[in-house]
Structure 1
Amino acid sequence: MLTLYWLLVALMVVGVIGAVVPGIPGTSLILVAIAIWGVVQGSFGSIAVPLIVTVVVLALSVGIDLLATFWGAKRAGASKWGQIGAVVGLLLGIFGLLPALPFGGPLLGILLGPLLGAIIGEYIYQRDLKRALKAGIGIVVGSLVGNLIQGLLAIVAVGFFLYATLPQVMG
C-alpha cells in the first residue's frame, strides 16, 4: 500500500509539472491520483477536502489559463487575430512541423508555436511587424504567467492531499 501511495504522489508531481509545462496533463493527473487513492482506501472521507480543493483548482486552472493569455494579449495590444494565431501556432507546434526538428520536438513546438502564430496572425491583421512582435510576446508572457499560477495551485492541491493522508500512511 505504501508503494502505491508514493507512486500516486509521483504521479501528482508529474501533474504539478504538467500544470506549468504546456502539453503535459496537469491538475487532472492530481485529481486522478487522489481518486485512485480514495478507491483503494475504500473511503473518500479522509480525502474529501483534498478532492474538493483539487476540483476547485482544476476549474480555476482552466479559467486562469484563458484569463492570463487574454490579459497578456490586451496588455500588448493584440487583436483576436493574434490570439487565434497563437492557438493555431500551438496546435501546429505540437502536431505539425516543429516536432520534426532534430532537437526539442513537441516541447519546442509548444514554446515557439504560440509565439510565431501570434506574430503571424497579428502581422496579417495589422501589417506592422513591431506591433505584431509586441502582441506575440504579450500573449506568450500572459500564458507563461498563467502557467506559473496553475503550478502554484497544483502544489497547493498536492499539499492538501499530503497533509490529509501522510499521517495515516506513515503512522
Structure 2
Amino acid sequence: MLALYWLLVALMVVGIIGAVVPAIPGISLIAIAIFVWGLVNGFSSVGLSLAIAIVFLLVGIGVDFLATYYGAQKAGASKWGQIGAVVGLVVGILGLLPALPIGGPILGILIGPILGAIVGEYIYRRDLKLAAKAALGIVVGSLVGNLIQGVLAIVTVGVFLWTTFPSAG
C-alpha cells in the first residue's frame, strides 16, 4: 500500500511538470492519481483533494484560454494570429513526429504555435514586425497560463499529501 502511495505521488509530480510543459497531462493526471488512491483507500480520505483537483482542472483550462487570449489581445493579435497558433501547434506536433520521433512533438509544441501565429498575422497584416509582436503576445500569454496551472497543480498535490500522508503508512 505504501509503494502504491509513493508511485501515485511520483505520477502527481509528472502531473505538476505537465501543468507547465505542453503535451504532458497536468492536473488531469493528478486527479486520476487521487482517484486511484480513493478507489484503493476509500474516497473519504481523498474527498477534499479530489474536489480541489477537479475544480482546479476546470479553472486551469479556463486560465489557459484566458491568459492566451489576453496576451494575444494586448499584443494586438488578430483572429488570424490566434488561428495560426492553433494550426501551428497541430502541425508542429504531427509534422515533426516522423522527422524526430523522440523530441519532435515536444519541439513542435514549442515552435509550432510561434511560427503559426507569425504566419497567420503576416497573412492578415502583411507586416512581419507586427506579426512577430502578436506571436510573442500569444506565446507570453500561454506561458503565463502554464505557470498559473503549475501553481494550481502544486497546491493540489500539497493538499493531497497534507490530507493523506498521516494515513498512508
Give TM-score scaled by structure 2 length: 0.96
Partner of 1:19: 19
Partner of 1:90: 89
Which amino acid letter does the alignment assign opposite residue 141 of structure 1? V
Change in CA separation of 1:32 and 1:103 when aligned onto 2, cut-off 3 Å: closer
1:46 Cα deviation from its structure 2 partner = 1.5
Partner of 1:60: 59
1:99 Cα deviation from its structure 2 partner = 5.5
1:7-156 paired onto structure 2 within 5 Å: 7-41=7-41, 43-97=42-96, 100-101=99-100, 104-156=103-155
1:168 Cα deviation from its structure 2 partner = 1.0
Which amino acid letter does the alignment assign opposite residue 17 of structure 1? I
SS at match of 2:24: coil
Take 2:153 and 2:96, find their aligned partners in 1: how far apart are those partners? 31
SS at match of 1:24: coil
Which amino acid letter does the alignment assign opposite residue 38 of structure 2? G
Which amino acid letter does the alignment assign opposite residue 35 of structure 1? F
TM-align CA RMSD:
1.3
1:103 Cα deviation from its structure 2 partner = 7.6
Where do 4+ consecutive residues of structure 1 move more than 4 Å? none
Which ranges in structure 1 are unaligned for 5 or more consecutive residues? none
Give TM-score scaled by structure 1 length: 0.95
Give yes or no for contact 1:92–1:98 (8 Å, CA) kept in 2: no
Take 1:86 and 1:47, find their aligned partners in 2: how far apart are those partners? 38
Corresponding residue pairs, total: 169
Give yes or no for contact 2:11–2:30 (8 Å, CA) kept in 1: yes
Give yes or no for contact 1:68–1:145 (8 Å, CA) kept in 2: yes
1:159 aligns with 2:158: yes
Give yes or no for contact 1:15–1:27 (8 Å, CA) kept in 2: yes
Deviations 1:23-79 (A, max 9, x none): 1111110000000000001x2112111011000110011001100100110010000
SS at match of 1:45: helix
Which amino acid letter does the alignment assign opposite residue 127 of structure 2? D
Change in CA separation of 1:66 and 1:100 when aligned onto 2, cut-off 3 Å: same
Take 2:165 and 2:128, find their aligned partners in 1: how far apart are those partners? 54
SS at match of 1:25: coil
Which amino acid letter does the alignment assign opposite residue 75 of structure 2? A
Which ranges in structure 2 are unaligned for 5 or more consecutive residues? none
